[in-house]
């Protein structure tokens, strides 16, 4: 009886651990910048210092945008309804601007690293 109980507890524990590690593995906690309503949201995104980041850029608008940053050396066209991943290297603290190079009237945003 005791052996069966131990086996049952071990099985449950294993299932819980597997579930936790799987959710950690597939957790999509990438920071996101979304373009909608003619502007970037958030306009100011804060990232941790010295941490490489996969930044998700989503275009929820109805026209293509070009996510561009001279400071970050990044330039990506994002079609309407498309989401892309922009690889951001480990950065020192500071402010890194970005803008839509296809629509200069769109307010620029910035990534603040601290």
Partner 1 sequence: MRWPARLFISASALVIAAQLIRPERVNPPVHGDLSAPPAIKEMLSRACYDCHSNQTKWPWYSAIAPMSWWVYRDVERGRQPLNFSNWSDYAADPGTMNEKLDKMAKLLDSGAMPPWWYRELHPESRLTFSDRDAILRWIGVARDPHAQADSVYYPEPSQ
List interacting residues with partner 1 (CB under 8 A).
68, 70, 73-78, 84-89
Choose between 3 and 87: whose C-beta lies nearer to partner 1: 87
Choose between 10 and 30: whose C-beta lies nearer to partner 1: 30
Q: SS3 for 81-112, per residue?
A: CCEEEEEECCCCCEEEEEEECCCCCCCCEEEE
Choose between 1 and 92: whose C-beta lies nearer to partner 1: 92
Q: How far is the CB of 76 from partner 1 (least distance, A)?
A: 5
Q: How far is the CB of 17 from partner 1 (least distance, A)?
A: 33
Query: Do residues 108 and 96 touch, judged by C-beta distance below 8 A?
Result: no
Q: How far is the CB of 84 from partner 1 (least distance, A)?
A: 6
| Maximum CA extent, the chain | 73
Return the residue matching tokens 């979304």. Answer: 34
Q: How far is the CB of 23 from partner 1 (least distance, A)?
A: 26
């Amino acid at each position: 009886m005791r052996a069966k109980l131990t086996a049952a507890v071990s099985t449950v524990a294993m299932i819980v651990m597997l579930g936790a590690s799987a959710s950690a593995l597939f957790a999509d906690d990438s920071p996101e910048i979304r373009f909608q309503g003619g502007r970037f949201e958030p306009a100011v995104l804060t990232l941790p210092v010295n941490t490489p980041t996969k930044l998700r850029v989503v275009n929820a608008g109805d026209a293509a945008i070009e996510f561009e940053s001279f400071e970050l050396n990044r330039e990506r066209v994002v079609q309407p309804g498309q989401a892309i991943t922009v690889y951001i290297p480990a950065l020192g603290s500071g402010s890194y601007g970005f803008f839509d190079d296809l629509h200069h009237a769109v307010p620029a945003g910035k990534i603040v690293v601290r």
